[in-house]
Amino acid sequence: MTQATAVSKKRKRSFFYSGREDSPFKRLMIHAALWFACLIAIYPILRIISVSLRPGNTLLSTDLALIPDGATLESYRIMLFDKPFLSWLWNSLMITVATAVIGVILAATSAYAFSRHKFPGRAVGLVFLLTTQIIPAAMMIVPIYILAIQLELVGTYRGLVIAYAVTAVPFSIWILKGYYDTIPIDLEEAARIDGCSELEAFWRILLPLSTPALAIVFLFNFTTAWNDYLLARVMLGSQENLLTWPLGLQRLQGQFLTQWGQFSASSVMVAIPVMLLFLYTSKWLISGLTLGSVKG
Amino acid sequence: MIPNEVLVKSLTEVGTTVLYVLIGTAILEAVLYLVLMRWLKYRYALPFMLLAPAIVGLATLTIYPLLWELRLSFTNMSLRAFKDPQFIGLTNYVRVFTEPVLKQTYFFPLLGRTVLWTLINVMFHVIGGMVLALLLNRPMRGKGIYRMFLIIPWAVPQVIAVLAWRGEFHYEFGFINIILRQLGMTPVQWLSDPTANFLAMCITNIWLGIPFMMVILLGGLQSIAGDYYEAAEIDGANGWQKFWMVTVPLMRPVTTPVIILGTVWTFNNFNIPFFINQNELESSDILVTGLFRAAFQYNRYGFSAAFAFVIFGILLAYSIFYLKTTGGLKGATE
C-alpha cells in the first residue's frame, strides 16, 4: 500500500496515470467504470436525502431531481419534536452501550485464555465458537422467545442486553485471539520477571497493545446491537416506551405512503453518524478482520 | 424531546441489567476461586476463571436454548398446545419433508429457491467485488475517493438501506420504475409479481454485499508481490493469463474463507427477504424467513423447531464439506 502511494506520488504527470502499459483510452474506461459504480452505490442514499427534503404536498412525486422544489426541513422538525424519534434513539443507545461494554469484557478475558493458555477442551471450544456462527438467527429466536415468556423477560431490556452481548462473543473472541497471537509473549514474560502477576501483565502490557483490536470488537458489538431488528421485535413485544429505532422506523415505513418523508428524515439522522464512524474506522476494521487469517 | 419517563425507564432497565451481570460474575468468580484455586489447586484454574463468564453466557443463551429447542422439536407445541405439549417423536421431522412448511410451499421448492438465492448473490458479490478490486488495485488518482464512495452501501445501517430499497420498488413512485418509464420501457410490479419480487431481493442484496467483498479482495490483491507478475510477463503472459495463472491461485487463502462466510451469511440472510417482501408473498420466502413465519405467523413451535434443525443440518454439512475439501480450518485452532 505505502509502496503504491509512493509510486503514484513519483509519477503525478498526468491525471489519469495508471500502471505502466495502460493506454489513455484504457485509463479513461477505468475511470468511467468506477464513476458508474460509485453512482450506483450512492444513488439510493441520495434519494433518501432527497425525499427527506420534500414538502408534504409533493411527497409523492415522480420527480427525480435530487434537491426537490420547495425543499424544506419540515420532516426533520416533525421527527425531532412531534414524534418519539429521540426516545427510540435514546433506548437504542442505552442498550447498545451496555451490550458493547459487557461484550468487550467477556471477549477480552476469554480470548486471553485461548491465546496464552493450553487447557483441556481448548480446541473443542474454538471449533464450537466457529460453529455458533452458522446458526441462523431465526433458529435461536424460537427457543429464546418461548424461554423469555416463561421467565417473564418479554417487554424488558434484561434479556435483550444479555442476548446481544453473548451473540457477539464468539466472533469477538476469534478476532481478539488472532490479535493477541501476533503480540510476542516475551513482553509479558519480561514484566513477570520484573514482578508483575500474570493478570497484571495482561492488564498493563497486552491490553494496551491490543487497543486497535479492542476498538474493532467494541464497534462490532455496538453495530450488532444498534442495527438489530429481529430480536428486539420479538423480545420487546408492544411496549411503546421501549421501542428501539429499527422498530420505530419500521412502523413509519408501514404507513409508507403517508410518511415517506418522515421515514427518510429519520433514516438520514440515524445513518449519517454511523456512516461517518464506519468510514473513519473502515481501514482499521479491515486490517483487524484479516490480520488473523493472513497470519494463518 | 425525550419524555422523562422514557429516560428513567430505559436507564433503570439497563442499569439493573448491568448490576445483575456484575453481581453474578462476582459470585461466580469467587466460587471458582475458592473451589479451583484454593481447594483443588487445579493447574488450569486461571484460564477457566477467565473463561467462566463467557462459558456461562454461551451455555445459558446458546447451548441451553438449542437443547431445549431439540426437545421441542419432538413435541406438538403450538399456540393451542402451549401449556401441555405432547411428545410425538419424529413426526415433526417427517412433516417437514412431506407437508407444506408454510401455507402452500413445500420444503424442497423452498430449499431450491434458497440455493438459487445464495448462488446468484454470492456469484455477483464475488464477480462484482473482484472487478472493482482489480480496477482499484493500480496506482491512480482519486483511488481513496472511489473507495470511500464504493464502501457506502456497507456503511449504511442495513435496516435503513433495505427499507429504503423497499420504498424505491414502489410501482408508481420508486425511482426504478420512474427510470424505466423514462427509458420507454414497461414498469415492473416489483412488490406483487413473484419473479420480480425475487429479483428485487437479489438487486438489494447484491447492492449491499459487493462493498464487503471488494474491500476484502482488494486487501488480498495488495498483498500479492509484484515479482510474480513480472515473472509472468517475462514468460510472455497476457493480462487474462496473468489473472488466471497468478492472481486467482495466489488469492485462494483470501477467497476461500470469504466465500464460505458469504454463502452462510446469504443463506441465513433474514433482513432482505423479510423487509423487501414484508411477509406477504410466500413465493419470496427463503428457508430462514419461512422458519420465522412458521413459528411466529402460524405459531407451530414444535414443527418450526424441527424445521430449524433441518436447516442447521444443511449448513453444518455444507461447512464441514467445504472445510474438508479446502483444508480451510488447518492451523486455526493452534
In a domain, A118, yes or no: yes
Residue B128: which pLDDT band, with cuts at 50, 70 and 90?
very high
CB atoms within 10 A of CB B239: 12
Q: Does the beta-carbon distance from A134 to B268 stay under 8 Å?
A: yes
pLDDT tens for residues B138-152? 888 888 889 889 989
Widest CA span in chain B: 82
pLDDT at A289: 60
pLDDT at A12: 41
Residue A17: which pLDDT band, with cuts at 50, 70 and 90?
very low
pLDDT at B202: 95
Q: Which CATH number fits domain B98-326: 1.10.287.130, 1.10.260.40, 1.10.630.10, 1.10.3720.10?
A: 1.10.3720.10
pLDDT at B330: 53
Higher pLDDT, B261 or A45: A45
Sequence-separated (6 or more) residues with CB below 8 Å from residue A2: none
* Mutant choice from B10, B203, B268 vs A, greatest count of A C-beta within 10 A: B10
State the Cα–Cα distance between residues B105 and B103, nearest whole angstrom.
Answer: 6
pLDDT tens for residues A151-189? 888 888 888 888 888 888 998 998 888 888 888 888 888
In chain B, residues with a C-beta closer than 8 Å to the C-beta of A169 are 54, 57-58
Q: Does the beta-carbon distance from B167 to A253 stay under 8 Å?
A: yes
Q: Out of B7, B153, B175, whose CB is closest to A41? A: B153
State the Cα–Cα distance between residues B90 and A83, nearest whole angstrom.
Answer: 50
State the Cα–Cα distance between residues A170 and A19, nearest whole angstrom.
Answer: 42
Query: What is the total count of domains within chain A?
Result: 1
Which amino acid is residue A59, in one-letter code? L
For A185-296, where are the alpha helices, taking DSSP H only? 186-193, 198-201, 207-209, 211-226, 230-236, 245-254, 256-295
Say yes or no: A294 contacts chain B, CB-CB below 8 A. yes
Residue A41: which pLDDT band, with cuts at 50, 70 and 90?
very high
Domain segments of chain B as ranges? 4-63, 98-326
Q: How distant is the Cα of B314 from the closest Cα of chain A, in angstroms?
A: 10
Residue B5: which pLDDT band, with cuts at 50, 70 and 90?
confident
Write down the residue that cell numbers 417482501 correspond to: B277
Say yes or no: A198 contacts chain B, CB-CB below 8 A. yes
Question: Which residues of B, range 57-76, sit inside 8 Å of A by Cβ?
Answer: 57-58, 61-62, 65-66, 68-69, 72
Q: Any idea what the CATH number is for the domain that residue A285 is in?
A: 1.10.3720.10
pLDDT at A272: 86
Tell me if residue B91 falls in helix, strand or coil: helix
In a domain, A42, yes or no: no
Domain residues for the domain of A160 are 78-295
In a domain, A12, yes or no: no
Q: Does the beta-carbon distance from A44 to B165 stay under 8 Å?
A: yes
pLDDT tens for residues B68-83? 999 989 988 777 766 7
pLDDT tens for residues B284-333? 889 999 998 888 888 888 899 999 999 999 999 988 888 777 765 555 55
- Residue in A closest to B307 by C-alpha: A139
In a domain, A140, yes or no: yes
- A·B CB contacts under 8 A: 312
